[in-house]
Amino acid sequence: MRENRTRSRPARFARVFGLGLALAAVFLAGGFVAFVLSVSRQVPGMPEKADGIVALTGGPLRVDDAMRLLGAGRGERLLISGVNRRTTRSQLRRRAGALGAKFDCCVDLGRQAMDTTGNAREAAIWARRNEFRSLILVTSDYHMPRSRLELRHVLPDVKITPFPVTHPGAPAGGWWNRSGRLRLLAGEYVKFLEAALRTRTSAQPRFEARN
């Protein structure tokens, strides 16, 4: 009898472990569907005026849309975060076109950020230096949840208004039959979960304004 009980313990453990894995898979799958739906429901309408605008590099449309928001008077200044060190200011100014005067007076370039966490840190220092209390965040639609999460972690007292950019040829709708889009969203979902866990378990960093 004792021998049978001993043998049954690994079987019970295997069943419990298998059930745990199944529940985890269901939880992750449900979370992924919710994540995709949240991305697809984002509507980039004209936002209310904010103190500043932050555009995260990673696609030319992000900078173009941010410049249009600046030209429309939706923010006092624009920070383009994560600019490649080999990209010159004059190259970016040419993209501004008719908004060149706005670019000259009111656009700051951040070149230190190497990832989304770095973007948030760069934006936090910039916002503190300018004493901004509200920001418009411009980035791709799929990238918005994680970017907003990172920015809120470092600027909890600043209002963040999202302005999602949807790139042509990659609409969020119909993601289930677009393998490239599906891989992109799945990869971003994993990064979002990592960022959510890290920001929940780490202390809020403090950044001093730099001149």
Per-residue pLDDT of the chain (211 residues), as tens digits, is 455 555 566 667 666 656 566 665 666 666 777 878 778 777 777 899 999 999 999 877 899 999 999 999 999 999 999 999 999 999 999 988 889 999 999 999 999 999 999 999 999 999 999 999 999 999 999 999 999 999 999 999 999 999 999 866 554 445 545 667 788 888 999 999 999 999 988 777 766 655 4
- In the prediction, which pLDDT does 203 show? 73
Residues counted in the chain: 211
Pairing of β 77-81 and β 107-110: parallel
Dihedral angle computed from the Cα positions of residues 111, 183, 139 and 170, in that order, rounded to the nearest 10 degrees = 130
- In the prediction, which pLDDT does 28 show? 65
In whole angstroms, give the CA distance from residue 88 to residue 84: 8
- Neighbouring C-beta atoms of residue 73, cutoff 10 Å: 9
**Based on C-alpha coordinates, what's the Rg of the chain?**
22
- In the prediction, which pLDDT does 169 show? 52
- CATH number assigned to the domain covering 52-166+173-201: 3.40.50
Pairing of β 134-140 and β 77-81: unpaired
